């Protein structure tokens, strides 16, 4: 039987300035504790200064170490297989559809349905959007509590939906450190349109809302031309790390 890790029953969305919301509690407590306890070793991560002040371990960054960590850890091996499944990808799409967000990919299409839609679209001279196949990947991400941050951006055009899953013990993080996912809006209206994902600065942005960094939750949002978001510089001790899983559902290149 396929393990379903995430529970979206309590997903609460806002729709402006772009679709974004919070699902909590997300994961069954015993399973969540196992994920927290088996977080990969810090030395496996690669620092990513171009994007802010963060460390990443993923299919793209330190790929060999990433797959080694997954294959040697049962909870992450099982999680990886689920993230790569159609059940996960179209489960997210169907959940969003239930909240009035139709991205054109819901209803878990069969291979036959997908091919048929693609052929019909081509004959009509249309881009075969609804027949397109989606994929998913996830990254282990860490940011130091003393200054860790992610600069304001909107995500690359290939991304469709992102989930930011917090991985921490109940008493591990002091809210005074910061670390929340911030919804931004440019102060200059000319910067609002950002389909191609140029980075900006914190000074150029208003803070519309913040989802505090708390255990067992996912911030879920849709990539749009104005899905500006960030993590502002944190103010905690150097030994503390903001640990998250960054899950992207995207159109393969």
Question: Chain centroid to CA 184: how far?
Answer: 16
Q: Give the number of other CB atoms < 10 A from CB of residue 3.
A: 12
The CA angle 74-92-219, to the nearest 5 degrees, is 80
pLDDT above 80: residue 131? no
Dist CA 222 CA 18 (whole Å)? 7
Please give the share of the chain, as a percent, with pLDDT higher than 70: 89
Mean pLDDT in the chain?
Answer: 92
Q: Which of 46-50, 105-109, 244-248 has the lowest mean pLDDT?
A: 105-109
Residue 123 has pLDDT above 70, yes or no: no
Tell me what pLDDT residue 67 has.
Answer: 98
Each residue of 224-242: pLDDT tens digit? 999 999 999 999 999 999 9
Q: How many Cα atoms within 13 Å fall on the side-chain side of residue 157?
A: 6
Q: How confident is the model at residue 128 (pLDDT cuts 50, 70, 90)?
A: very low
**Residue partners of 172: CB distance under 8 A and separation at least 6:** 215, 240
pLDDT tens digit sequence for 174-230: 999 999 999 999 999 999 999 999 999 999 999 999 999 999 999 999 999 999 999
For residue 205, the cross-strand partners are: 186
pLDDT(119) > 60? no
Residue 106 has pLDDT above 80, yes or no: no
Instruction: Give pLDDT, residue 121.
Output: 47
Tokens matching residue 91: 């489960």
In order of their start, the domains of the chain are 12-100+135-250 (2.60.120.620)
CA distances from 214 to 14, 118, 246 (A): 19, 42, 15
Determine the pLDDT at residue 56: 98
pLDDT tens digits, 22-77: 999 999 999 999 999 999 999 999 999 988 999 999 999 999 999 999 999 999 99
pLDDT above 90 for 113: no
Between 12-16, 107-111, 249-253, the lowest mean confidence (pLDDT) is in: 107-111
């Amino acid at each position: 039987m396929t393990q379903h890790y995430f529970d979206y029953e309590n997903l609460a969305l806002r729709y402006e300035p772009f679709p974004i919301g919070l699902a909590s509690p997300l994961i069954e407590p015993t399973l969540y504790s196992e994920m927290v306890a088996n977080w990969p070793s810090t030395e496996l991560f690669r620092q990513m200064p171009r994007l802010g002040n963060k460390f990443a371990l993923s299919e793209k960054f330190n790929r060999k170490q990433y797959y080694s960590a997954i294959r040697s850890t049962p909870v992450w091996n099982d999680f990886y297989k689920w993230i790569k499944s159609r059940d996960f990808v179209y489960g997210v799409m169907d959940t969003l559809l239930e909240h009035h967000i139709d991205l054109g990919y819901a209803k878990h299409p069969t291979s036959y349905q997908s091919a048929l839609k693609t052929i019909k679209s081509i004959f009509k001279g249309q881009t075969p959007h609804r027949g397109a196949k989606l994929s998913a990947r996830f990254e282990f991400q860490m940011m130091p509590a003393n200054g860790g941050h992610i600069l304001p951006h909107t995500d690359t055009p290939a991304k469709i939906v992102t989930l930011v899953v917090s991985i921490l013990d109940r008493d591990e993080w002091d809210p005074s450190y910061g670390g929340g996912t911030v919804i931004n809006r440019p102060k200059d209206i000319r910067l609002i349109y950002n389909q191609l994902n140029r980075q900006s600065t914190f000074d150029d942005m208003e803070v519309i809302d913040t989802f505090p960094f708390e255990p067992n939750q996912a911030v879920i949002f849709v990539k749009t031309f104005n899905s500006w978001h960030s993590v502002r510089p944190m103010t905690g001790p150097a030994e503390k790390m903001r640990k998250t899983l960054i899950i992207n559902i995207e159109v393969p290149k």
